Structure 1
Amino acid sequence: AAEIKWTDLKREGDVLEIRVRHAKNDQLAQGRSTFVEYKDGTDLDILLSRWRVRCSEPAFKSDYIFFNLNNREKLSPSAISKVTKETLKNAGVEGATHHALRRGAANALRASGLSFEEVKAKGRWRSDASVARYLTDAPSAQGLHATTSTSLVKS
């Protein structure tokens, strides 16, 4: 996220391509693309449009989408971690890191009905063990949609 520039975003129809120039899961250092649904009027559309307008003002002009306010250069990894932790704390999620966002997304995708393999592909995990660490031990995270529960042990 630190190195994403405005020129790394490309929209075609209802799909937004985000070109990631350097990622730890890009072993050949060729860059990777992530694709997300991007429809007019959605939260993503509104937030990204507002951010683009804000960043066009001289005081906030930068090539980077997320930038240091002092020098308009990309944010450092530690700055991103700090901002994420503070934002989550302000939202009432105490002690969480940026991995909480990946964990939450993985579990939400699984609960919405995506298969383990689909979640793995969306999160760009290379191994089953990696994605499994992010999924909670809950029926919905494992693709089940149980509506009631009863104890198997008689009291």
Structure 2
Amino acid sequence: MALNGHCMCGAVAWAYSGEITRNLVCHCTDCQRATSAPFTAFLGMRPDKLSWSGDIRHYESSPNTFRGFCPSCGARLYFRSDRWPAEIHVHAATLDDPGEYRADAQVMMRSRAKWLDRLQSIPVHEDFQQAPSTATP
């Protein structure tokens, strides 16, 4: 499988050609805090089949566990840990076409944000619910 992706500003890009080892949505509290989101979708990839361009910074979120991010825009790029030495977990939101992502499992459900259960019952809007303010502060 050949996949490509990039950070929000485009300063970091990646290319992958190989088998996907995991295809998950993770609800753990570490992923929630690292991404400021209720869950993280990621693809498990073989590090030797993945190439990067651009400057990447790392944060050691726990011993021998690193989270890569773009120093320009702050976009989270991946998670890697000595617990899974043959994998790097790239965030699905960085895919060139993240709308094509299809997870095949959810993990760490004990940490799932309870308000996600309400999503189907709350109003939906195609754009922002209110127009942005035009007043200057």
Which structure has more strand as a fraction of its residues? 2
Name which structure has the greater RCO, CA cutoff 8 Å, separation 6+. 2
Q: Is TM-score (shorter-chain normalized) higher than 0.5?
A: no
**Structure 1 or 2: larger helix share?**
1
| TM-score (norm. length: structure 1) | 0.21
TM-score by length of 2: 0.23
